[in-house]
A and B are shown apart, each in its own frame.
Chain A
Amino acid sequence: MEERNLAQRASQGDREAFGELVRLHQAGVYNTAYRMTGNRQEAEDTAQEAFLRACRAISSLDPSRPPGPWFRKIAVNVCLNRLEKRQALPLEEMLAASTDPGPESQTIERESSRQVRTALASLPPRYRAAIELRHYQELSYAEMAETLGRPLSDVKSDLFRARKMLAERIRIE
């Protein structure tokens, strides 16, 4: 079935159509979450939470536009909320609650990919969000500011600092 038709039905509360959209976009949303969290289990939980949040906000989905970017923007905000909430915990609680041992290495991943994931996971959450939205979602500065609900100047500064940090860390590794 055509995606626009699915989005139309889902936006009117059709559960089955929403399920079909989840199947179509789960890989993109999961990868967004994995790049931001650096942990597979966390990425899976976050992706599920993002879809549930999307479902609650489904009436704001514009069926005339592709739903993929809409899902992934929600996923970035869900990841950011989770990462920042964890940062706000006192250190001991944070260590207890943390399930994030950095990018996993059990499965075979190219060394270059593993390096990039390690560098990404070392960035503050806001910087990860800026990198995700600019480099993977390919949003403009203005769209990034709108997605994150923050001033344009802050978002640009986060992006530039994030790149600088990555340049240092990817070069060293």
Chain B
Amino acid sequence: MKKHLPEEILNEYLDDVLDGLARHQVEIHLFDCVECRAQLDALHLVSSALAGLDNEPLPHNLAPAVLAKIPEQHTRLVWKLVLAAQAGIAIGMIIILLSDLLVWFQPQEWLALIFSQLASLEFPISYPSFTIPRLQAFNFQVSSTNIIFLAVSALLLWGVGNAILMNNRHEVHK
């Protein structure tokens, strides 16, 4: 008994996704098989019936109803401000902490030592002296409270950012 083309192959032939050889083999079979040709014709009929479907005119403009249901911009804006404030505090803290750390490590002395060593190599360049001013107004100390505060700020930013991203991904992939 003759082996007919599987449904899958007929569909893939219709969708034009078969490679050259497979396509050629299908065409050879179709050439002398009435039954498979009839099946393919039925698929073509479905395709053209679907393609011939009229477009339905829009009953009315949907935009006003959609926009009315979208929460006002300020909700988003408040969130942005909260995030910005949080980021601002975190960045400020990091700057203060760094300035304190610089004083603590006394970089001037390290630099002076390095420069003096370099000078002893008799390079024909002179190095100007400079100081890093400590931020006197903020007497910020490297304490466990500060470190915990910074860690919590960073964690909150990370959490909120990821929650927003995950939420959006979810919406797109249903």
Chain A interfacial positions (CB closer than 8 Å to B): 13, 15, 18-19, 22-23, 26-27, 30-31, 34-35, 40, 43-44, 47-48, 51-57, 59-60, 74, 77-78, 80-81, 109-110, 112-113, 115-117, 131, 134-136, 140-141, 149, 156, 159-160, 163-164, 166-167, 170-171
Further pairs besides A54-B171, A149-B173: 15, Cβ < 8 Å: A18-B70, A26-B58, A26-B63, A31-B55, A48-B62, A52-B69, A53-B171, A77-B173, A109-B54, A112-B52, A113-B52, A115-B49, A163-B11, A164-B7, A166-B46
The reply on B1 being an interface residue by CB < 8 A is no
Residues of chain A lying within 8 A (CB to CB) of residue B56: 30-31, 34, 40, 43
Q: Hey, which bits of chain B sit against chain A, CB under 8 A?
A: 7-8, 11, 15, 17, 42-43, 45-47, 49-59, 61-63, 65-67, 69-70, 72-73, 76, 164, 167-169, 171-174
- Smallest beta-carbon distance A123→chain B, Å: 12
Query: A47-B62, A135-B47, A164-B7 in contact; A55/B70 too (CB < 8 A)?
Result: yes
A163-B43 in contact (CB<8A): yes
| Contact flag A59-B73 (CB < 8 Å), given A52-B66, A149-B174 | no
Most buried by A among B51, B58, B169: B58
Knowing A22-B62, A77-B174, A164-B7, say if A116 contacts B49 (CB, 8 Å). Answer: yes
Can you show 21 pairs from A to B with CB atoms below 8 A apart?
A19-B63, A22-B66, A22-B67, A26-B63, A48-B66, A54-B171, A60-B169, A60-B171, A74-B172, A81-B174, A110-B54, A112-B49, A116-B49, A116-B50, A116-B53, A117-B53, A156-B8, A159-B11, A160-B8, A160-B11, A163-B11
Q: How far is the CB of A139 from chain B (nearest CB, A)?
A: 11
- A15-B73, A77-B174 given as contacts; is B50 within 8 A of A135 (CB)? yes
Q: Report the separation of the CA atoms of residues A15 and B45 in the bound assembly, to the nearest whole angstrom.
A: 44
Q: Which residues of chain B are near A159, meaning CB under 8 Å? A: 11
Which 10 A-B residue pairs are closest in the complex by CB-CB distance? Answer: A57-B171, A77-B174, A167-B42, A22-B63, A113-B54, A51-B66, A135-B50, A160-B11, A26-B62, A166-B46
Q: Which residue in chain B gives the minimum CB-CB distance to A76? A: B174
Contact A163 B46 (CB under 8 A): yes
Residues of A within 8 A of B52 (CB): 112-113, 116
- Bound-state CA distance A22–B67 (Å) is 9
Does the CB pair B43–A170 fall under 8 Å? no
Shortest Cβ gap from B122 to chain A (Å): 59
